[in-house]
Protein backbone atom coordinates (compact mmCIF):
# COMPACT_ATOMS: atom_id res chain seq x y z
CA UNK A 1 0.00 0.00 0.00
CA UNK A 2 1.07 3.56 -0.70
CA UNK A 3 -0.09 6.37 1.60
CA UNK A 4 -0.74 9.85 0.20
CA UNK A 5 -1.20 12.75 2.64
CA UNK A 6 -1.62 16.49 2.15
CA UNK A 7 -2.10 17.11 5.87
CA UNK A 8 -5.46 18.13 7.27
CA UNK A 9 -5.53 21.92 7.14
CA UNK A 10 -5.28 23.08 3.55
CA UNK A 11 -6.43 21.65 0.23
CA UNK A 12 -3.77 20.46 -2.23
CA UNK A 13 -5.78 19.34 -5.26
CA UNK A 14 -2.80 19.50 -7.61
CA UNK A 15 -1.00 16.65 -5.80
CA UNK A 16 -4.16 14.61 -5.15
CA UNK A 17 -5.16 14.82 -8.85
CA UNK A 18 -1.67 13.86 -10.06
CA UNK A 19 -1.54 10.84 -7.75
CA UNK A 20 -5.06 9.85 -8.81
CA UNK A 21 -3.88 9.86 -12.42
CA UNK A 22 -0.77 7.84 -11.58
CA UNK A 23 -2.55 5.36 -9.25
CA UNK A 24 -3.90 2.98 -11.97
CA UNK A 25 -0.36 2.32 -13.22
CA UNK A 26 0.84 1.22 -9.77
CA UNK A 27 0.86 -2.32 -8.41
CA UNK A 28 -0.03 -1.14 -4.88
CA UNK A 29 -3.34 0.43 -3.88
CA UNK A 30 -3.13 4.06 -2.75
CA UNK A 31 -4.88 5.41 0.35
CA UNK A 32 -5.21 9.18 0.46
CA UNK A 33 -5.82 11.81 3.14
CA UNK A 34 -7.09 14.76 1.09
CA UNK A 35 -7.96 17.29 3.82
CA UNK A 36 -10.15 20.11 2.54
CA UNK A 37 -9.53 19.47 -1.14
CA UNK A 38 -12.37 19.71 -3.65
CA UNK A 39 -10.98 17.14 -6.12
CA UNK A 40 -12.33 13.71 -5.16
CA UNK A 41 -10.11 10.79 -6.21
CA UNK A 42 -11.49 8.06 -8.45
CA UNK A 43 -8.59 5.64 -8.36
CA UNK A 44 -7.61 5.85 -4.69
CA UNK A 45 -9.37 5.09 -1.41
CA UNK A 46 -9.66 8.49 0.21
CA UNK A 47 -10.48 10.11 3.54
CA UNK A 48 -10.64 13.79 4.36
CA UNK A 49 -8.99 13.38 7.76
CA UNK A 50 -7.61 10.12 9.09
CA UNK A 51 -7.53 10.15 12.91
CA UNK A 52 -3.91 10.23 14.09
CA UNK A 53 -4.04 6.85 15.86
CA UNK A 54 -5.33 5.22 12.68
CA UNK A 55 -2.95 7.26 10.54
CA UNK A 56 0.00 5.71 12.41
CA UNK A 57 -1.29 2.26 11.45
CA UNK A 58 -1.54 3.26 7.80
CA UNK A 59 2.01 4.61 7.93
CA UNK A 60 3.23 1.37 9.50
CA UNK A 61 1.57 -0.64 6.69
CA UNK A 62 2.65 1.62 3.83
CA UNK A 63 5.49 0.69 1.50
CA UNK A 64 6.23 4.39 1.16
CA UNK A 65 4.56 7.78 1.67
CA UNK A 66 3.79 10.54 -0.82
CA UNK A 67 3.21 13.86 0.91
CA UNK A 68 3.14 17.63 0.79
CA UNK A 69 6.39 18.96 2.26
CA UNK A 70 5.09 19.29 5.80
CA UNK A 71 7.34 18.76 8.81
CA UNK A 72 4.70 16.53 10.42
CA UNK A 73 4.83 14.11 7.48
CA UNK A 74 8.61 14.16 7.47
CA UNK A 75 8.84 13.40 11.21
CA UNK A 76 6.16 10.69 10.89
CA UNK A 77 8.09 8.97 8.09
CA UNK A 78 11.21 9.18 10.22
CA UNK A 79 9.45 7.63 13.26
CA UNK A 80 8.47 4.64 11.12
CA UNK A 81 11.65 4.49 9.00
CA UNK A 82 9.53 4.79 5.85
CA UNK A 83 10.70 6.26 2.55
CA UNK A 84 8.90 9.48 1.68
CA UNK A 85 8.38 11.44 -1.54
CA UNK A 86 7.80 15.14 -0.89
CA UNK A 87 5.86 17.36 -3.28
CA UNK A 88 6.04 20.95 -2.00
CA UNK A 89 3.11 23.34 -1.97
CA UNK A 90 3.79 26.62 -3.67
CA UNK A 91 2.51 30.00 -2.61
CA UNK A 92 2.17 31.37 -6.14
CA UNK A 93 -0.44 28.69 -6.92
CA UNK A 94 -2.27 29.57 -3.70
CA UNK A 95 -1.38 26.29 -2.02
CA UNK A 96 0.06 27.81 1.17
CA UNK A 97 0.55 31.16 2.88
CA UNK A 98 4.22 31.45 1.90
CA UNK A 99 6.98 29.49 0.16
CA UNK A 100 8.27 27.66 3.25
CA UNK A 101 7.58 24.21 1.77
CA UNK A 102 9.92 25.03 -1.11
CA UNK A 103 12.50 25.99 1.52
CA UNK A 104 11.86 22.74 3.38
CA UNK A 105 12.67 20.60 0.35
CA UNK A 106 15.77 22.70 -0.37
CA UNK A 107 17.10 22.18 3.13
CA UNK A 108 16.46 18.43 3.34
CA UNK A 109 17.12 17.27 -0.22
CA UNK A 110 19.84 14.66 -0.36
CA UNK A 111 18.90 13.02 2.93
CA UNK A 112 18.55 9.22 2.69
CA UNK A 113 15.09 7.66 2.37
CA UNK A 114 13.67 10.74 0.74
CA UNK A 115 12.89 12.08 -2.73
CA UNK A 116 11.54 15.42 -3.89
CA UNK A 117 9.21 15.97 -6.86
CA UNK A 118 8.02 19.31 -8.21
CA UNK A 119 5.95 18.29 -11.22
CA UNK A 120 4.10 15.37 -12.78
CA UNK A 121 7.13 13.85 -14.51
CA UNK A 122 9.24 13.96 -11.36
CA UNK A 123 6.40 12.57 -9.26
CA UNK A 124 5.78 9.70 -11.68
CA UNK A 125 9.48 8.91 -11.74
CA UNK A 126 9.75 9.01 -7.92
CA UNK A 127 6.64 6.88 -7.34
CA UNK A 128 7.79 4.23 -9.85
CA UNK A 129 11.28 4.25 -8.33
CA UNK A 130 10.74 5.17 -4.69
CA UNK A 131 13.73 5.93 -2.48
CA UNK A 132 15.28 2.96 -0.69
CA UNK A 133 13.77 1.99 2.62
CA UNK A 134 16.41 3.73 4.61
CA UNK A 135 15.48 5.94 7.49
CA UNK A 136 16.34 9.64 7.28
CA UNK A 137 18.94 10.04 10.00
CA UNK A 138 17.85 12.54 12.62
CA UNK A 139 20.71 14.51 14.00
CA UNK A 140 20.52 13.17 17.56
CA UNK A 141 23.25 15.45 18.80
CA UNK A 142 21.49 18.49 17.46
CA UNK A 143 18.24 17.31 19.08
CA UNK A 144 19.96 16.83 22.45
CA UNK A 145 21.51 20.26 22.09
CA UNK A 146 18.21 22.11 21.77
CA UNK A 147 16.67 20.07 24.61
CA UNK A 148 19.67 20.85 26.80
CA UNK A 149 19.36 24.56 26.05
CA UNK A 150 15.72 24.51 27.14
CA UNK A 151 16.51 22.46 30.29
CA UNK A 152 19.23 24.94 31.24
CA UNK A 153 16.79 27.80 30.78
CA UNK A 154 14.18 26.02 32.94
CA UNK A 155 16.71 25.50 35.72
CA UNK A 156 17.79 29.12 35.49
CA UNK A 157 16.78 32.02 37.72
CA UNK A 158 13.03 32.35 38.20
CA UNK A 159 12.99 36.08 37.51
CA UNK A 160 12.84 36.44 33.74
CA UNK B 1 2.54 24.46 29.91
CA UNK B 2 3.43 23.21 26.42
CA UNK B 3 1.40 24.45 23.45
CA UNK B 4 1.36 23.41 19.78
CA UNK B 5 -1.15 23.31 16.94
CA UNK B 6 -1.96 19.87 15.54
CA UNK B 7 0.28 18.56 12.75
CA UNK B 8 4.00 19.26 12.45
CA UNK B 9 4.06 21.81 15.27
CA UNK B 10 2.83 19.12 17.66
CA UNK B 11 5.32 16.56 16.32
CA UNK B 12 8.13 19.04 17.00
CA UNK B 13 6.82 19.68 20.52
CA UNK B 14 6.83 15.94 21.21
CA UNK B 15 10.52 15.75 20.32
CA UNK B 16 11.25 18.33 23.04
CA UNK B 17 10.06 15.95 25.81
CA UNK B 18 13.54 15.38 27.25
CA UNK B 19 13.88 19.14 27.82
CA UNK B 20 11.28 19.19 30.56
CA UNK B 21 11.55 15.70 32.02
CA UNK B 22 10.45 15.78 35.63
CA UNK B 23 8.34 18.94 35.22
CA UNK B 24 4.58 18.99 35.78
CA UNK B 25 3.44 19.73 32.22
CA UNK B 26 -0.02 20.65 30.93
CA UNK B 27 -0.33 20.15 27.17
CA UNK B 28 -2.48 22.30 24.91
CA UNK B 29 -3.27 21.58 21.26
CA UNK B 30 -5.87 22.13 18.54
CA UNK B 31 -6.33 18.51 17.43
CA UNK B 32 -7.22 16.09 20.23
CA UNK B 33 -6.47 13.02 18.10
CA UNK B 34 -2.77 13.89 18.01
CA UNK B 35 -2.55 14.06 21.81
CA UNK B 36 -4.42 10.74 22.00
CA UNK B 37 -1.90 9.23 19.57
CA UNK B 38 0.92 10.21 21.89
CA UNK B 39 -0.83 8.95 25.03
CA UNK B 40 -1.49 12.43 26.43
CA UNK B 41 -5.03 12.05 27.75
CA UNK B 42 -5.33 15.30 29.65
CA UNK B 43 -4.44 17.71 26.84
CA UNK B 44 -6.44 20.94 26.80
CA UNK B 45 -7.96 22.08 23.51
CA UNK B 46 -7.99 25.41 21.71
CA UNK B 47 -9.87 26.17 18.47
CA UNK B 48 -7.48 26.17 15.52
CA UNK B 49 -6.67 29.45 13.83
CA UNK B 50 -4.51 31.00 11.16
CA UNK B 51 -4.16 34.50 9.87
CA UNK B 52 -6.35 33.88 6.81
CA UNK B 53 -9.48 33.72 8.96
CA UNK B 54 -9.94 36.63 11.39
CA UNK B 55 -13.08 35.11 12.94
CA UNK B 56 -11.28 31.90 13.91
CA UNK B 57 -8.29 33.92 15.10
CA UNK B 58 -10.48 36.05 17.36
CA UNK B 59 -12.21 32.98 18.86
CA UNK B 60 -8.83 31.35 19.44
CA UNK B 61 -7.46 34.51 21.10
CA UNK B 62 -10.41 34.73 23.49
CA UNK B 63 -10.09 31.01 24.34
CA UNK B 64 -6.33 31.42 24.87
CA UNK B 65 -6.81 34.31 27.30
CA UNK B 66 -9.34 32.27 29.31
CA UNK B 67 -7.16 29.17 29.31
CA UNK B 68 -3.98 30.95 30.41
CA UNK B 69 -5.78 32.96 33.09
CA UNK B 70 -7.32 29.80 34.50
CA UNK B 71 -4.12 27.74 34.53
CA UNK B 72 -1.52 30.45 35.20
CA UNK B 73 1.55 28.49 33.98
CA UNK B 74 4.95 29.37 35.47
CA UNK B 75 6.59 28.58 32.16
CA UNK B 76 5.05 28.43 28.71
CA UNK B 77 6.80 26.71 25.81
CA UNK B 78 5.43 26.63 22.27
CA UNK B 79 6.47 25.50 18.80
CA UNK B 80 3.66 27.59 17.22
CA UNK B 81 1.68 28.38 15.34
CA UNK B 82 -0.87 31.22 15.88
CA UNK B 83 -2.60 29.61 18.93
CA UNK B 84 0.85 29.15 20.50
CA UNK B 85 1.64 32.80 19.84
CA UNK B 86 -1.56 33.92 21.59
CA UNK B 87 -0.82 31.73 24.62
CA UNK B 88 2.77 32.93 24.80
CA UNK B 89 1.82 36.62 24.78
CA UNK B 90 -0.91 36.21 27.40
CA UNK B 91 1.32 34.06 29.63
CA UNK B 92 4.14 36.61 29.41
CA UNK B 93 1.81 39.48 30.28
CA UNK B 94 0.74 37.48 33.35
CA UNK B 95 4.36 37.04 34.42
CA UNK B 96 5.28 33.58 33.11
CA UNK B 97 8.66 32.83 31.59
CA UNK B 98 8.10 31.99 27.94
CA UNK B 99 9.93 29.96 25.30
CA UNK B 100 9.33 30.23 21.54
CA UNK B 101 10.80 27.47 19.38
CA UNK B 102 10.52 28.53 15.74
CA UNK B 103 9.55 25.54 13.57
CA UNK B 104 12.29 23.89 11.56
CA UNK B 105 10.14 24.65 8.50
CA UNK B 106 11.22 28.29 8.79
CA UNK B 107 14.50 28.09 6.96
CA UNK B 108 14.62 31.31 4.95
CA UNK B 109 13.10 33.72 7.47
CA UNK B 110 11.65 33.24 10.97
CA UNK B 111 7.88 32.70 10.96
CA UNK B 112 5.62 35.74 11.18
CA UNK B 113 4.26 34.43 14.50
CA UNK B 114 7.82 33.96 15.71
CA UNK B 115 8.76 37.53 14.83
CA UNK B 116 5.72 38.83 16.71
CA UNK B 117 6.58 36.56 19.67
CA UNK B 118 10.13 37.90 19.92
CA UNK B 119 9.53 40.76 22.40
CA UNK B 120 7.30 38.51 24.54
CA UNK B 121 9.64 35.50 24.65
CA UNK B 122 12.09 34.99 27.54
CA UNK B 123 13.94 32.50 25.33
CA UNK B 124 13.62 32.52 21.53
CA UNK B 125 15.23 29.73 19.51
CA UNK B 126 15.50 29.25 15.77
CA UNK B 127 16.54 25.85 14.39
CA UNK B 128 18.81 27.33 11.74
CA UNK B 129 22.21 28.88 12.57
CA UNK B 130 21.90 31.49 9.81
CA UNK B 131 18.68 32.85 11.33
CA UNK B 132 20.30 33.62 14.70
CA UNK B 133 21.21 37.29 14.98
CA UNK B 134 23.69 37.38 17.86
CA UNK B 135 21.09 39.06 20.05
CA UNK B 136 17.79 37.55 21.14
CA UNK B 137 17.29 35.22 18.18
CA UNK B 138 19.44 32.28 19.29
CA UNK B 139 20.37 28.98 17.69
CA UNK B 140 21.01 26.04 20.06
CA UNK B 141 20.50 22.96 17.88
CA UNK B 142 17.60 21.59 15.86
CA UNK B 143 15.09 18.74 15.87
CA UNK B 144 15.82 17.36 12.40
Domain that holds residue A117: 2-155
Instruction: Quote the pLDDT of residue B43.
Output: 97
What total of structural domains would you count in chain A? 1
pLDDT-derived band of residue A136, with 50, 70 and 90 as boundaries?
Answer: low
Most B-contacting residue of A150, A151, A158 (CB-CB within 10 A), to test interface: A150
Q: Give SS3 for A4.
A: strand
DSSP state of A25: G
Confidence at residue B67, expressed as pLDDT on a 0 to 100 scale: 98
Q: Count of residues for chain A?
A: 160
Q: Is B62 on the interface with A (CB under 8 A)?
A: no
Instruction: Map out the domains of chain B as residue ranges.
Output: 2-139
B36 within 8 A of B103, measured Cβ to Cβ: no
Give the model's pLDDT for residue A111. 87
Please give the backbone phi and psi of residue B29, each rounded to the nearest 5 degrees, phi first.
-145, 180
pLDDT for the residue numbered B76? 98
Phi, psi for B70 (deg, rounded to 5): -70, -40
pLDDT tens column, B15-34 = 999 999 899 999 999 999 99
Measured CA to CA, the distance from residue B27 to residue B2 in angstroms comes to 5
Q: Is B23 on the interface with A (CB under 8 A)?
A: yes
Average pLDDT estimate for B92-98:
98
pLDDT-derived band at A158, boundaries 50, 70, 90 = low
Chain B hits for A77, CB-CB cut-off 8 Å, are: none
| Average pLDDT value for residue range B95-113 | 96
pLDDT tens sequence across A78-109: 999 999 999 999 998 999 988 899 988 998 88
Dist. CA A84–CA B76, nearest whole Å? 33
H helices within chain A, ranges in order? 13-22, 52-61, 71-79, 100-108, 120-128, 140-155
Report the pLDDT value the prediction gives residue A160, as an integer from 0 to 100.
Answer: 45
State how far the Cα of B144 lies from the Cα of B127, in Å rounded to an integer: 9
Q: Does the residue A63 lie in any domain? A: yes
Three-state secondary structure string covering chain B: CEECCCCHHHHHHHHCHHHHCCCCCCEEECCHHHHHHCCCCCCEECCCCCCCCHHHHHHHHHHHHHHHHHHCCCEEEECCCHHHHHHHHHHHHCCCEEEEECCCCCCCCCCHHHHHHHHHCCEEEECCHHHCCCCCEEECCCCC
Contact indicator for B13, B140 with CB cutoff of 8 Å: no
A158·B104 Cβ contact <8 A:
no
Q: Report whether A84 contacts A114 (CB < 8 A).
A: yes
Specify if A160 maps to a domain.
no
What pLDDT sits at residue A156? Answer: 85
Distance CA A29, CA A21 (A): 13
Q: Chain B closest CA to A109's CA: distance in Å? A: 13
CATH fold of the domain at B2-139: Rossmann fold (3.40.50)
Residue pLDDT, tens place only, A38-73: 999 999 999 999 999 999 999 999 999 999 999 999
Chain B positions in Cβ-Cβ contact with residue A146 (cut-off 8 Å): 16, 19, 101, 125, 127, 140-143
In a domain? residue A145: yes
Name chain A contacts of B36, Cβ cutoff 8 Å: 52-53
Query: How confident is the model at residue B82, as a pLDDT?
Result: 97
Q: Is the pLDDT of residue A117 over 60?
A: yes
Q: For position A68, what pLDDT does the model report?
A: 97
Tell me whether residue A78 is in a domain: yes
Residue A66: give its domain's CATH number.
Answer: 3.40.50.2000
Residue B142: HSE in the Cβ half-sphere, 13 Å Cα cutoff: 21
| A157, pLDDT greater than 90 | no
In order, the DSSP letters of A88-128 are ---TTTTSSSSSHHHHHHHHHTT-TTEEE--SHHHHHHHHH
Q: What is the pLDDT of residue A159?
A: 47
Strands A30-33 and B27-29, by their bridges, are unpaired
CB contact under 8 A, A154 and B20: yes
All residues of chain B having their beta carbon less than 8 Å from the beta carbon of residue A70 are 7-8, 105
**Mean pLDDT across chain B, nearest whole number?**
96
Q: Does B41 touch chain A (CB under 8 A)?
A: no
Task: Report pLDDT digits (tens) over B52-93.
Answer: 899 999 999 999 999 999 999 999 999 999 999 999 999 999
Tell me which of B105, B121, B137 to substitute to probe the interface with A (most A C-beta atoms closer than 10 Å). B105
- Is A141 part of any domain? yes
Identify the contact set of chain A against chain B, taking CB-CB distances under 8 A. Answer: 7-9, 51-53, 55-56, 70-76, 97, 99-101, 103-104, 106-108, 138-139, 141-151, 153-154, 158, 160
pTM: 0.93
Amino acid sequence: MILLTVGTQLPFDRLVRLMDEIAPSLADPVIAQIGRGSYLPRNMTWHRVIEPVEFERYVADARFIVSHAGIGSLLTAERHSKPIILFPRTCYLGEHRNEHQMATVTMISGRPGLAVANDEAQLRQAVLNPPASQTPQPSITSREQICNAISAFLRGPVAA
Amino acid sequence: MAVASGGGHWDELMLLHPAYAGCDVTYVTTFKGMADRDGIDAALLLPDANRDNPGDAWRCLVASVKLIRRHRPEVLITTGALPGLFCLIVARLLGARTIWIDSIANYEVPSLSGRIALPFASLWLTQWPHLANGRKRKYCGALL
